Amino acid sequence: PALFALGTGKGPVGQILCLEKEVLVLEKNQLLLSSLRCCFFSWGFPDNSCAFGNHATEKVLCNTFAVCESLCDWGDILCAACPNVTTVITAGTSTVVCVWDVAVTKDKLTHMKLRQPLYGHTDTVVCLAVSEVHSIIVSGSHDLTCILWDLEELSYITQLAGHTTIVSALAINDLTGEIVSCAGPQLYLWTMKGQLLTCTDTSCGPQSNILCISFTQRHEWDSRNVIITGCEDGIIRVKEPVQAKGWERHLVLHQELNRSQAVSQRRYKNNPAITALAMSRTHATLLAGDAWGQVFTWTCE
């Protein structure tokens, strides 16, 4: 692959979005709410509050204390998801997944109200993924489980158990509904109904814990679709699902992308961790953000 520097951020990259005419890069603890107005939701402040801001102007539109004093009652928020412009999902130390109704008009937050708390985890929730296409929410926790929730009914569906350590990253394939959960270097692939398809150990060293994950989603039938992991050791690993018997799958290592080797032909001892991944709209480019706020693009040949 060819490698090109795209730009830098102020802190660890939290989200990369490939829009029609531009690429947006958001810091850790920021999540785009509306691409039309560049409105983002941010969390992780010392007083447990959250805020809405404008990415283009870097202006804070409103602190949630102004419209939703009850948000701080749910402990430290550690993760969030946004399935649409009127819904924000949060979770953290309270162990509860909270679904909020929000309204932003003319770059101003006018409404934020708790629609439904979802109870089920017994320890801190650290990651969330949501698919409006398949109407599912997945939450990952320190309790070594994920829970699958119905986004429309806001109800419990099933538990994804069997992780050997804290669940650190989640992703949902909007084409197939398949779910990937990551715990340390372990990668688990599930059906949208919670059936385990395969589990594989991706470890290649002491710091290969998976921090972020993404599917390529060209076509449901396309055999070139792969699972991409961004790891603590700064290496991107591309896994290719191989069909086995029945529902069973195998995940085969297809490629390793090491930014330092591409630049200098040698591997640095302390690469910055990969914290965010995204595919371009044409699937011709992979974008990766790291803990130093840098974003690089890999051209897929």
Question: What does the domain layout of the chain look like in residue ranges?
Answer: 1-20+202-301
**Mean pLDDT per segment of 10 residues, for the chain of length 301 residues?**
51 88 88 76 81 74 54 84 93 95 76 92 97 96 97 97 95 92 94 92 76 78 72 86 56 62 51 90 86 84 57
Task: Look at residues 188, 202, 198, 210 and name the one whose alpha carbon lies nearest to residue 138.
Answer: 188
Amino acid at position 196, single letter = L
Identify the pLDDT of residue 91: 96
CB 189 within 8 A of CB 227: yes
- Looking up tokens 């290719």 gives 240
Identify the pLDDT of residue 191: 93
Helices (H), 33-175: none
Identify the pLDDT of residue 65: 45
Identify the pLDDT of residue 107: 63
Identify the pLDDT of residue 66: 46
Identify the pLDDT of residue 221: 47
Residue 74, helix vs strand vs coil? helix
Element (H or E) spanning 60, and its range?
A: strand 59-63
Identify the pLDDT of residue 145: 97
Identify the pLDDT of residue 173: 92
